[in-house]
Amino acid sequence: MATDALDALVHDLAEDQQLIDDVVGAARADFPEVARLPWAESRRHVAALMAAGFAAFSHDSTEDPDFTSAFRFGAERAALGVPVAGLLSGVHAGRSRILEIAINRGRSAGIPYDVLLAALLKLDKFGTALEHHVIDGYRAAERDLDHDARADRIQVLRRLLLDEPDDGPALDPAQFGLAPAGRFHCVVSDAAEPGRVRAMEQTYARCGGVLAPVGGRLSGLTPRLPPTTRDEPGVLVVTTPAVRLAQAPDAYRLGVTALTAGLAGGAAGVRSVTDLAGETALAAQPLLAGFLSEDLLAGLDPGDPFHRDLVSTALAFLDRGQRLDRTATALHLHPNTVRYRLRRLHELTGFNDAGGAPVTETVRWWWALRTWLGQPG
């Protein structure tokens, strides 16, 4: 009976999406480098690590647990310049939070203390093994990446892009080709896999640029962009027009906002901030986006699948120039189905699908629909 209750507890923990959010919150609170990353990115990493840990806990004892995701996570943190002390701080905070929740739920389920203690010791054992694989991945990537003055490049870029004072002996940016009189494109990317990071650093170095991890993202300055940059699947690179070094912090902040907005919209490849101007401007006003969504779409329930279908259809309609035929083709629906959904949305919210509205009015609805759809169902 106790074994059944314990199995049910572990299964519930492994399937609990709120637990992932709790662990992410604990790691971000204890780890500034994680807190700088978008919540969705942190959540993706934590979910992968937790899945590996729970799978190891429940695995067949005749097989070795699969800690590939933990090794990859450590390697990616090294590629992004995350200090190992901070990395361990975040991992420890997450482990502590999982054990705390497991204890509380186990006691509430009436699991005997000796059974619960044995299970927690086993869970902590696999947590330790997972942590070791994170560090192994970190060290392996660190050896591969640190063949040159990477630490110096990080220091210089943090000073130029974050406007931070030098940590240690002052370095002259001109030694890295970043002359005060020059103009440089700011580059920000979500690349995290060590091989891709290293390749990008080398590609921009051949253009006279300097790339290194800054604030948990691969970032840098370059006097010119590569003439031909091969798009990497699943990787977004945002660039700005060339600016003076004095404008670099502003350009970097704009690039980070554009990167976040582009990722939210599914963008990939090499994109200029001017390509993502609309998404970037809107992403800079999250509070206003929430107000707009609440005001225009108050009659909809985010938990209602049909309402989500209505909003998805309307958003696709606006994205395709309010063309019924293009929307139907993109969604693989009959035009009459699209027409019906738009009419129902009009009845519930007042959404106008007739066309001819001012651009600003269309933007208001597009922004509200996109924001509403981003809420959890």
C-alpha angle 225-226-228 in degrees, rounded to nearest 5: 130
Domain ranges of the chain: 2-145, 181-283, 286-373
Cα(40)–Cα(19) distance, rounded to whole angstroms?
15
Model confidence pLDDT, tens digit, residues 225-235: 988 655 566 78
Q: Please report the pLDDT score of residue 243 as a whole number.
A: 95
User: Is residue 261 over pLDDT 60?
Assistant: yes
What is the Cα–Cα distance from 277 to 2, expressed in whole angstroms? 58
Which of 20-34, 97-111, 241-255 is modeled with the greatest confidence?
A: 241-255
Tell me the CA distances in angstroms from 372 to 184, 316, 319, one per residue in order.
Answer: 38, 14, 16
Query: Which of 138-142, 261-265, 373-377 has maximum average pLDDT?
Result: 261-265
Q: Are 176 and 194 in contact (CB under 8 A)?
A: no
Residue 32's contacts (CB-CB under 8 Å, 6 or more residues apart) are 86
Range name among 205-209, 218-222, 227-231, 323-327 with the lowest pLDDT average: 227-231
72 Cβ contact partners less than 8 Å away, ≥ 6 residues apart: 137, 193
DSSP label of 221:
E
CATH architecture of 2-145: Orthogonal Bundle (1.10)
Could you tell me the fold of the domain covering 181-283?
Alpha-Beta Plaits (3.30.70)
Say which residues have a Cβ less than 8 Å from residue 210's Cβ, sequence separation at least 6: 153, 156, 157, 176, 177, 178, 204, 220, 221, 222
9 has a pLDDT exceeding 90: no
| Angle of CA points 256, 258, 264, to nearest 5° | 105
* DSSP result, 100-137: HHHHHHHHHTT--HHHHHHHHHHHHHHHHHHHHHHHHH
Q: What is the pLDDT of residue 63?
A: 62
286 contacts 367 by C-beta, under 8 angstroms: no
> Does residue 178 contact residue 210 with C-beta atoms inside 8 Å?
yes
pLDDT confidence band for 88 (50 / 70 / 90): confident
Span of 242-251, 269-278, 301-310, 367-376 with lowest mean pLDDT:
367-376
263, 267, 268, 273 alpha-carbon torsion, rounded to 10°: -90
Average pLDDT over residues 39-46: 71
Are 194 and 141 within 8 A, CB to CB?
yes
Split at pLDDT 50, 70, 90, the class of 107 is: confident
* Dihedral sign from CA coordinates of 166, 172, 176, 181: positive
Q: Which amino acid is at 57?
A: F
Report DSSP state, residue 267: -
- Between 231 and 126, residue with greater pLDDT: 126
**pLDDT at res. 209:** 92
Closest CA relative to residue 261, chosen from 149, 364, 370: 370
Q: Which pLDDT does position 14 carry in this prediction? A: 75
Buried b (16+ CB within 10 A) or exposed e, 123-133: beebbebbbeb
Report pTM.
Answer: 0.67
The CATH number of the structural domain formed by 286-373 is 1.10.10.2840
Closest to 373 in 3D by CA, of 334, 325, 331, 316: 316
Contact 184, 245 (CB under 8 A): yes
The answer on pLDDT for 10 being more than 80 is no
Instruction: Give mean pLDDT, residues 115-121.
Output: 79
Mean per-residue pLDDT, 44-72: 72
Does the pLDDT of residue 1 top 50, yes or no?
Answer: no
Task: Give the per-residue pLDDT at 105.
Answer: 80
Q: Which helix (H) or strand (E) holds 189?
A: strand 183-189
Confidence of residue 67 (pLDDT cuts 50, 70, 90): confident
**Percent of the chain residues past pLDDT 90, beyond the cut:** 30
Question: What is the percent of the chain with per-residue pLDDT over 70, rounded to a whole number?
Answer: 87
Average pLDDT, the chain: 83
